[in-house]
A and B are shown apart, each in its own frame.
Chain A
């Protein structure tokens, strides 16, 4: 999983609606897979990025080469560094933990396991049933 996708991800346990982003990372192993640098696409993606969450995540996994706020003027070096961190840094092993409901999502071979357990699914069914009764 790339960091850019982590920045888009929040906890999806039913009823866990606040303080569920970003998921905190633990025991991560990182790998770099190089891909083509596309400044145009990166620029178009910047508004979608939650910069504060991104910085705190980067700090958790030991990347400190980023400024605390998104700079006004963006030069090529900055974009290249960003490209490296967002698109080429993959989280291969570890786990993600929701700060609100503390659900753990394990990551294996770069694939996060987003399956919820039966209880969380049942709760879901009950809420739905109540909604239909109304």
Chain B
């Protein structure tokens, strides 16, 4: 799997071109939509009550559009100006901010009823400048997020951790800032449909029956994978096929004879004589 966060910092990777490609790609659209619905499901907001939500790393507003549909009011923040420009062109309803989440956010305490974030958190684990320290950036992010959430609110992050260390780094940072919660891993036994959701609680409302529970992951008991997104490896296979079979060898008989002629003209010694065996293909041995 290619990891865009290895190639360049987000504000540079998502330039005008990449932002347009990202937003118009129907495969990405359907994946983002499905992840957003799942994140909302985990968020478990009271029904038929519009909420004030925060979309961290909103990008071009693919996830925000779904929040609009569900009747929520939202505020989105992203570090890529190009992505935000696309969001403006698409006329999303939410308020947009150009913000580096690693620098924290300045919302008054208790502002939001919840937060979602789709495919963002892994970007924070990189140090893109010499002054960046992923650990302190994560801490700063979670501290300011904690304070901007209403007590008892939840934050759901879908992310692609590179390895267990990264997972641990993120979880530790969140727990140190006062969050409770844990990981929900959907379809843990599948390579393609496996998805990580970090589910965090900002404090608890004690009157509720017991502690809030981390929602159950999908596909834990060997349920079938969802077939809404069709994953395909077709392109890779095609490329391999053309490589193996259809390519012609450059060093055919004509080429060998030509080379030998040149060698003789230059007076090279020991040029073998031409015969019926010259440049003949060997039989397959087995």
- Residues of A participating in the B interface, judged by any CB pair closer than 8 Å: 1-2, 5, 8-12, 14, 20-21, 35, 38, 40-41, 44-45, 48, 50, 109-116, 118, 120-122, 124-125, 128-129
Contact = CB atoms under 8 A, between A and B. Distances in A.
A48 B88 contact: no
Given A12-B105, A116-B103, A122-B131, A48 B97 contact: no
Interface string B126-153: 0001011101100110001000000000
Interface residues of B, number: 33
Interface of B: 49-50, 52, 73, 75, 77, 79, 84, 88, 93, 95-100, 103-108, 110-111, 129, 131-133, 135-136, 139-140, 144
Contact of A111 (B52, B97, B108): B97
Nearest to A12: B106
Contact of A128 (B79, B84, B93, B133): B133
Given A112-B97, A113-B98, A115-B98, A124 B103 contact: yes
Given A35-B93, A125-B136, A115 B108 contact: no
B97 A11 contact: no
A110 B139 contact: no
A110 B88 contact: yes
A93 B52 CA distance: 24
Nearest to A108: B98
Nearest to A127: B136
A61 B285 CA distance: 87
